[in-house]
Amino acid sequence: MEIDFTTQIWKEGKMYVSYAKELDVSSCGKTIKEAKKNLIEAVECFLETAEEMGTLDQILEEAGFMKKRNVWKSPQVISMEKTRIAIPG
């Protein structure tokens, strides 16, 4: 079985943070490559634990994933943009 998800990466100080938004799982690394690798390991651990607990299908369905054949498809991102607003005060 396979799953696809969106990876976001940004820099915080000297580290790169990687984030799988659909699964709400994050990791980090000293390089972009390391941050991606560590995120994949974190997602694998998250999915394995959910499977062992018998909650994997429920978690993925609640996160908006759809199962097609042997692949869990993440929700389609329609738009992603930075937005700036004034902070009251």
- pLDDT tens for residues 4-50? 999 999 999 999 999 999 999 999 999 999 999 999 999 999 999 99
Residue 77 lies in a domain: no
Residue 89 lies in a domain: no
Domain span holding position 43: 2-71
Residue 59: give its domain's CATH number: 3.30.160
* Domain count for the chain: 1
- pLDDT-derived band of residue 1, with 50, 70 and 90 as boundaries? confident
Residue 45 lies in a domain: yes
The pTM for the full model equals 0.86
Residue 44 lies in a domain: yes
Residue 83 lies in a domain: no
CB atoms within 10 A of CB 22: 19
- pLDDT-derived band of residue 55, with 50, 70 and 90 as boundaries? very high
